[in-house]
Chains A and B, each alone.
Chain A
């Protein structure tokens, strides 16, 4: 069957847009949850610490696909029905929040203890210390691992395929089923994913360089 390159690319582009939507929304959801969880783990009382730790431990141990299926197939028996898109972003958001909470926790704990001592010595209270001394430094430590996590979420959106969400991979599969050119199409999909991750990394690195403060090393480790 003759393949029309232009309409193929258009379909893949539609899929890419959905992929990006999934990524960004999930990432933001995860970010918000993760802040709360990490603060609970560091500054919370014992019950809070336990709840937070149990939360992130469980969500880091269960496959994303399982979470998706529980939310999409399992919840209806309790009367909660999500459409595929919602189930996907919730699953992605929950799983990523567990990883992001550890990133924040690591970043906050990386701020040297002497900074806190100095802040206390000039009479700052706990909140002031966190807002003016700990947070600004922790955020800078968190940038590299968070970028890494962003690309991980981006790649994981391909799992939404299993729920029927029309993201990039599923669109690709539809085209394959009509044109029987799996190699080309899937390689194209791979190329698109690669381009997006590569551009994201490059852009973030540029921004990092621009806002770098002398003496601050951005830690470039994999989470």
Chain B
């Protein structure tokens, strides 16, 4: 079953068309990485998928059910997890409560059940010792791992990652990427927008190159990164190679 189908997605801000008709699909267990220049609508696209931003056109299907146009987005949002560039952890809650609050308040699980789910997921990202700390006391890498645990606690069918490592100091990037790799190995379906080309090479089943709100090219990493068919893809990658 196709977990995600996007057909002709469009998004405008005022006069400007940010997303110009994007279509792609994802199978269960796939990890798809989206790369491309900044400001080309990659993050906007992610926000459209869970309708944190409303699309202006096109259709989106989750597990082959249409989610565009439904009047209660909070229902299908339980099945889509999101990890934010700015972490967005709930400042007034401990790490444990951050991860627990979804299962407890949204899924209405009992406190004990929610707590055990939370602890399990914190263990998975390696943070069970920091359960009772507050977000302000954590490093960036730790915060992001809590964000991942929070998304995992809802047992989603798909997790969206919006530039998960862009706000991190370089030495903290690795711990987050390790967690993401682990999730990929365990078969989680993930759509990741990132700048880390090297990471894309490591973990992606498929890479999509987006520029100016359009998909220029998609394919397996070895093909896209080493032998892209489009000129613009080539130019973009060249900048990354020499920039190092």
Contacts and interface: CB of A to CB of B under 8 A. Distances in A.
Nearest to B86: A114
Interface of A: 112, 114-115, 117-125, 128, 132-133, 136-137, 140, 213-216
A137 B86 CA distance: 18
Contacts of B147: 118
Given A114-B84, A214-B136, A122 B102 contact: yes
A120 B151 CA distance: 12
B75 A117 contact: no
Which of A117, A118, A213, A216 has most B Cβ within 10 Å?
Answer: A118
Given A114-B84, A128-B106, A123 B78 contact: yes
Contact of A122 (B75, B86, B87, B150): B150
A137 B77 CA distance: 23
B90 A123 contact: no
A137 B91 contact: yes
Interface string B85-108: 011111110000000011001100
A119 B80 CA distance: 12
Contacts of A137: 91-92
Nearest to A126: B74
Contact of A120 (B52, B81, B101): B52
Given A132-B101, A215-B134, A215-B137, A125 B88 contact: no
Contacts of B77: 120-123
Contacts of A213: 91-92, 134, 136
A118 B47 CA distance: 11
B165 interface: no
Interface string B161-176: 0000000000000000
B154 interface: yes
Among A123, A124, A125, the most chain B Cβ lie within 10 Å of the Cβ of A123
B76 to A, nearest CB: 8
Contacts of A136: 92
Contact of B89 (A118, A120, A132): A118
B221 interface: no
B231 to A, nearest CB: 36
Contact of A214 (B73, B106, B137): B137
B74 A125 contact: yes
B189 interface: no
Given A120-B52, A120-B74, A215-B134, A128 B92 contact: no
Nearest to B104: A132
Contacts of A215: 91, 134-137
Contact of B74 (A115, A117, A124): A124
B31 interface: no
Contacts of B102: 122-124
Given A123-B106, A215-B136, A118 B90 contact: yes
Contacts of B88: 112, 114-115, 117-118
Contacts of B5: none
Nearest to A129: B74
Contacts of B86: 114
